[in-house]
Chain A
C-alpha cells in the first residue's frame, strides 16, 4: 500500500468510527452509560414521531380595550385642537367602553357630530348611568370589535409562529382553532419544550414610564412604615416590609431627587382554602385542618399592604394619574440595603405610557461593559427614537422605569437626553447561565413583537405521528424495498463497481445522519424527501463516473489511467449539478419556514456529503480495488 493510500484509508476509518460513535445516542438512546461523550440526537418531526399539542386561549377583549385606549388618545388630540375641554375615560364596565365628559354641555352636539363623522362604524352609543347632558357614553361597535378581535387573533398566531421559528424549532405547527391557538411541537427534550412554552406565552409588553419622585403619597407611606432602621408600623414589621429612601443629585442641574420605596421578600403564609384557590396554589394533598401553606411573593405582600393603606387613609392612595409598580431584585454582595434574599421593591410611577414596544425596530443581546452581565439593547424606529429623545430630554435627573410584562426590569436615572434611538434593558436571573437564556429569550420576543393579550394554556395532549403510526411503518417498508431495488439495479449493471456504489450510498446516509445530529436538525417527511433526492444525486454521480471510466477503457486506456480520467472528467459535471441545486437550496433556506426550511437544511447537508462521498470515498474504494491486485489489470468489473 502506498503512503497516500494508507493515509487516506486511515482518515476514512477515523471518519467512519467518529460517525458511528456520534450517532449512537440517536439509535441506542438512553441505554448509553452517563460517561458517554456524545449526546446530540436527531429529533424526529411531528409527522414521524408525534409530539405535544398545547391549546392556548387568549383574552381578546384586551385588544378591544387597547383599541378604545388608542381612540381615547386620538380623540384627546382632536378635541384639544378644537379647544373643547373634556375628560375622556375608558371605564371597565364593558369591553371597549369610552366616556367623554364635557365641561361645557353646549359643546355636546359638536362633539357628537365629530364622532359621528370620524368614527362612523367604529363607535356606537352605550346606555349608561352618567349625566346625559355632559357625558357621551360610547363603546366600540360590535362588528368593529369583532374585526379587532379577529385581527388580534391573527396577529397573535403570527407572533407565536415567528417566536417558535426564531427559536429554531423545525416542523412546528401553529394554527388558529376557533378563538384559540394550537401549538404543536415535535417530541423535544422537556427542557427545550419548557423554554419554548415560556417564550410563546410571554406577552412581551414593553413600556417606558417616568418615576414620580418627591411625591406626597410615598412620603406619607414612608412616614407610616418608618425607615428600615426604626420601623413603626407593627403590621409592616410582621410582614417583613421595610421602607427606604433613595436620594440622588442630577449631574447637570444639581437638582435634588428623593424616592421613597418599600421592599418585601417572598415568604410562606398559612392561608384558608379559598385564599389559596384564589392565589393558584391550591393543592389537595397539602391541606392541613382546612389551611394550606403557600409561598406568597413579595410583590403580592406589597400590593396587599398598599391596598390596605389606601383604604384606611386617602392620603396614601395612589393618585388618578399615578400607579404603583414593582421590581424584582437579586441582592448583590455588599449592597447598601444589607438584604441577602431576593426582594421586590415598589416604584411610584406616572401612569402615562411614554413609549411602547411597538417603537422597537431591533433588539440584540450584549454584555454590560462594567458588570459583565448580559443585557439587551433595543433600537427604536425613527418615530420611537425621536420620542425617546424628547422624553429623556424633558426628564433629565428623573428615573425612567422600563416595564416588561407588568414588571419593572430596571429604572435608571436619566443622565441626559438620549438621541441615538437606543436603550438597554437589564435582564433578571440568579446566575450567568439563566441571565443569558433570559437575554436570548427577550431578544426573540422583542423582535417578534408583543402579543395583544396574555395566552393561557388550556389543554395539553400528546400527539401520535401526524402521518399516522401505520403510515410510518409502511413508509419504512417502502424505503427498505426501494433501497434494495437501487442496489439490484446498480449491482446488475455495474457489478463490482456497483457494489462500491452501494457502499458509497450507505456511507452517504451515515454521514448525512451524523451531520444532522451535529446540527440538531429535525427529520421529517420533507427532510426525507431531500434525503431521497441526494441519494439520487449520489447514484447519478456514480453513473457519471462509471460511464466515463467505461468510455476511457473502450478507448484502450489502462485501468488505472481510465479510473483517473473518469473521476476527473466526471467531477466538473457532478460539481456543477450539485452546486446549481445548492444555490436553489440556499435560497429556500433564507426565505422558507417550516417544511421548506427543513427540506433546504437537509438538501444542503446532503449535497455536501454526496460530493464528498462521490469524489473522495468512492475514489478511495476504487484505489483499494485496483491496488489489491498484483501486476497490471486487464479490466475491472464495471
Chain B
C-alpha cells in the first residue's frame, strides 16, 4: 500500500530535521540567564517592595472588613450588593490582591430577626496608615500621656494597643490623634472590651482604632453604589490561611516528589535520565516563580496549585521525550548519541507543540475571560506551559547527554535495552 493513500493534516510537515543538539550550549546559556534573572528579581523585590513575592492574604494575613448595605430610601432595610460590583468598584479604585465574597447573617432589629446580606472583603493590607504616620501619631500620643505611665504601645494596622498605669479616655485620645490628622473610631456599645483594667495590677489595656482601610473602602463603595448607605459591620485582623507550616510542608513535599521521580526513572529507564528531568522541573518551577516576581502578580494558594500543575505537566512532557530517546537508543544502535537525541526530538516535537498549544489555548481563554483567582491560575499556567515545553526539549535532553558522556562513555546499558526489546516482542 502506498504512503500516498493517506491524507493527513500536519501541524509541522514530517521529515523535518532541526539541529537541536548543536545549539544546546546556546539554549543552556539562555536558561541560565533567565533563571538568574528570576532569582535576582526576588531579591530586587525584597529590596524595593519589601517582600520577595506579592503574597496575598492566604500567606501573610491581613484585614477582613464586613460591610452591609442599607437602603437609602428605606433606612431600616438592607439591600443585596453583588460581590462582582463590590470587586469592580474596589478594583477601579486601585485596590490589589483582595477577595470579595458574599456573606449572610441574621441580626435582631427591634423584635424582628432580619437577614442581612453583606459582603466580606479580605485584603492583604494591614492598615491604611504609613509607618511615618504611625510614628508621628504614636510620638504625639506618648508625649501627651507621659503622666499616665505608659508601659507599652504598639501599632497593628490602624489600631494602637496601649498598656498604661492609668486610664486614657477615648475623648482625650481623640484630641491627640485629631492633631495628627487621624480620626478615632468610637467603640460604641462594646467599649468596655477595648479598655480593660487589670484586676491584679490596676494596669489598663486599651485599644484605639483609627478610621482607616474600612473607611477608605467604604467611601469607594458609596461612590460606586450611590443608592445605598454602606455600613462597616466589623473590621478585624486575620491570620494567614497557610502560614509557615504549609510552606515548609510544601518544600518537603517537593523534595520527596523529586526523589521519587528520580527513583522511578532510575528503575524504569536508567539513572542517567533522572538529573535532566529533575533539572527541567526545577527550571520550570523557578521560571514560574520568576514570572510572578517580575510582574508582581498576586501569589495565593491557587498560584501554588498552578505551580503544581505546571510541574506535573513538565515532568510528563519530559518523560515522553526520554521514552523516545530510550526507544531509539535500542533501534539505532549504530548512531552516535547526539544524533539519536536529535532524531528523537524531531520525532516528538510535533506532539510536544500540539499538546502544549492545546493546553495553552484552554488556559489562555481562562486568562482572558476569567476574573480574580481563575485568571491568576490561568496566568501561571500560561507561563508554565511555555517554559515546560521549552525545558522538556531544550534543557532535559542536553543534561541527559552531558551526564551520559561524562559518566557513561559506553553503549546503552543492557538492562534498559533488554526491557525495550522485550516490549517490542
- B9 contacts A482, CB within 8 Å? no
Name the residue of chain B whose CB is nearest to the CB of A527.
Answer: B305
Residues 237-278 of B, flagged 1 when their CB comes within 8 A of A and 0 if not, give 111111001100110110011001101110011000000010
Bound complex: CA A404 to CA B238 (Å): 32
Within 8 A of A (CB), among B275-318: 277, 301-302, 304-306, 308-309, 311-313, 315-317
Segment at the A interface, from B178-186, B199-207, B214-222, B394-402: B199-207
Within 8 Å of chain A (Cβ to Cβ): is B170? no
Of A15-23, A294-302, A322-330, A529-537, the one with at least 4 CB within 8 A of chain B? A529-537
- Asked whether B173 is an interface residue with its Cβ less than 8 Å from the other chain, the reply is no
Across the interface, do B257 and A594 meet the contact criterion of CB distance under 8 Å? no
Partner of B369, one of A478, A537, A539, A554: A478
Within 8 Å of chain A (Cβ to Cβ): is B101?
yes
Instruction: Please state if A464 and B151 are interface contacts (CB–CB under 8 Å).
Output: no
> Which residue of chain A has the shortest Cβ distance to B312 in the bound complex?
A581
Q: For residue A47, which residue of chain B has the nearest CB?
A: B373
**Separation of A591 and B140 alpha carbons in the complex (Å):** 50
B312 contacts A584, C-beta separation under 8 Å: yes
Q: When the two chains form their complex, are residues B102 and A464 in contact, meaning their CB atoms are under 8 A apart?
A: yes
Docked Cα-Cα span, A73 to B236, in Å, equals 38
- Per-residue interface assignment for chain A, residues 577 to 614, with 1 indicating a CB less than 8 Å from any chain B CB and 0 otherwise: 11111011111101111111001000100000000000
Please, how many angstroms separate the alpha-carbon atoms of A116 and B39 in the complex?
A: 50
CA distance A568 to B217 in the complex (A): 61
Question: Is B342 close to A, CB under 8 A?
Answer: no
Task: Determine whether B366 belongs to the interface, using a CB cutoff of 8 Å to chain A.
Answer: yes
Evaluate whether A475 and B203 lie within 8 angstroms (CB atoms) in the complex, with A530-B309, A556-B3, A583-B261 already known.
Answer: no
Q: Say whether A550 contacts B8, CB under 8 Å.
A: yes
Q: Which of A467, A486, A587 contacts B362 (CB 8 A)?
A: A486
**Please, how many angstroms separate the alpha-carbon atoms of A603 and B308 in the complex?**
10
Bound-complex Cα distance A478 to B373 (A): 13
**Do the beta carbons of A581 and B201 come within 8 Å of each other?**
no
Which residues in A have their C-beta under 8 angstroms from that of B245?
158
Which B residues are in CB contact (< 8 Å) with A493?
9-11, 354
Question: Shortest CB–CB separation between residue A142 and chain B, in angstroms?
Answer: 6
Interface-located stretch among A405-413, A437-445, A455-463 = A455-463
Judge whether A157 is part of the interface by a CB distance below 8 angstroms.
yes
> Is B189's CB within 8 Å of the partner chain A?
no
Contacts of A95 in B (CB 8 A): 200
- Distance in angstroms from B329 CB to nearest chain A CB is 14
Q: Given A474-B370, A485-B365, A466–B101 Cβ distance below 8 Å?
A: yes
B389 → A minimal CB distance (Å): 11
**Which A residues touch B309, using CB under 8 A?**
529-530, 532-533, 599
Task: Determine the residue in chain A with the shortest Cβ distance to B311.
Answer: A584
Find out whether the CB atom of A634 lies under 8 angstroms from the CB atom of B1.
yes
Q: Please provide the chain A residues from 101 to 118 with a CB less than 8 Å away from any CB of chain B in the complex.
A: none
Whether the pair A595, B301 counts as a contact (CB closer than 8 A) is yes
Q: Assuming A470-B87, A481-B369, is B11 touching A175 (CB within 8 A)?
A: no
For B316, give the chain A residue with the smallest CB separation. Answer: A577
Say what secondary structure dominates the interface of chain A.
helix
Contacts of A127 in B (CB 8 A): 201-202
Q: Decide: B316 and A580 in contact? CB cutoff 8 A.
A: yes
A556 engages B1 (CB within 8 Å): yes
Q: Do residues A175 and B257 form an inter-chain contact, with CB atoms below 8 A?
A: no
With a cutoff of 8 Å between Cβ atoms, the chain A residues found around residue B264 in the complex are: 579-580, 583
Residues of B within 8 A of A550 (CB): 6, 8
Q: From B61, B84, B350, B366, give the contact of A475 (CB < 8 A).
A: B366
- Which residue of chain A is the closest to B151 with respect to CB atoms? A142
Contact of B237 among A178, A470, A492 (CB under 8 A): A178
A547 to B261, CA, bound (A): 26
Choose among A93, A467, A572, A591 the residue that contacts B323 (Cβ–Cβ < 8 A): A572
B302→A595 contact, CB < 8 A = yes
Which one of A176, A494, A588 contacts B257 once the chains associate, using CB atoms below 8 Å? A588
- Find residues 518-550 in chain A having any chain B CB closer than 8 Å to their own CB: 525-526, 529-530, 532-533, 536-537, 539-540, 543-544, 547, 550
B318-356 interface mask toward A, CB cutoff 8 Å, 1 = contact, 0 = none? 011011100100000000000000000000001100110
A residues near B363, Cβ cutoff 8 Å:
482, 532
Query: Which of A529, A539, A569 contacts B306, CB < 8 Å?
Result: A529
- Of B82, B250, B355, the contact of A469 (CB 8 Å cutoff): B82
Cα separation A20 to B316 with both chains bound (whole Å): 30
Q: How far is the CA of A591 from the CA of B317 in the complex (A)?
A: 24
Cross-chain contact B253 with A536 (CB below 8 angstroms): no
Encoded as 1 (CB less than 8 Å from any B CB) or 0, chain A from 548 to 563 comes to 0010011110100000
Quick check: is B357 within 8 A (CB to CB) of the other chain? Answer: yes
In the complex the two chains form, is A465's CB within 8 Å of B101's CB? yes
Contact with A along B87-113 (1 / 0, CB 8 A): 100000000000111111100000000
- Mask: chain A, 364-375; 1 = CB below 8 Å from B; 0 = not: 000000000000
**Binary per-residue interface labels of chain B (355-384) against chain A in the complex, 1 for a CB within 8 Å, 0 otherwise:** 101110111011011111110011001000
- Whether A461 pairs with B103 at a CB distance below 8 angstroms is yes
Q: A594-B301, A634-B5 are in contact. Are A525 and B374 (CB under 8 A)?
A: yes
- Is B423 interfacial (CB 8 A cutoff)? yes
Nearest residue in B to A53 (C-beta to C-beta)? Answer: B103
Bound together, the chains give a CA A565 to CA B109 distance in angstroms of: 75
Would A590 and B253 count as touching, CB distance under 8 A?
A: yes
B152 within 8 A of A: yes
- Give the complex CA separation of A235 and B337 in angstroms: 99
CA distance A603 to B316 in the complex (A): 13
CB within 8 Å of B: which A419-475 residues: 459-471, 474-475
Q: Determine how close the nearest CB of chain B comes to the CB of A94; give it in whole angstroms.
A: 3
* List of 3 A-B pairs having minimum Cβ-Cβ separation, nearest first: A464-B102, A470-B84, A94-B200
Q: Which B positions have Cβ atoms within 8 angstroms of A?
A: 1-3, 5-11, 14, 61, 64, 82-84, 87, 99-105, 120, 151-152, 163, 198-203, 205, 236-242, 245-246, 249-250, 252-253, 256-257, 260-261, 263-265, 268-269, 277, 301-302, 304-306, 308-309, 311-313, 315-317, 319-320, 322-324, 327, 350-351, 354-355, 357-359, 361-363, 365-366, 368-374, 377-378, 381, 423
The 30 sampled A-B contact pairs (Cβ below 8 Å) are A126-B200, A175-B238, A177-B236, A462-B103, A463-B101, A463-B102, A467-B372, A468-B84, A468-B87, A468-B372, A469-B82, A471-B84, A478-B366, A478-B369, A526-B305, A532-B381, A536-B358, A539-B359, A554-B3, A556-B2, A572-B327, A576-B322, A584-B311, A587-B253, A588-B308, A591-B253, A591-B256, A592-B249, A599-B308, A638-B8
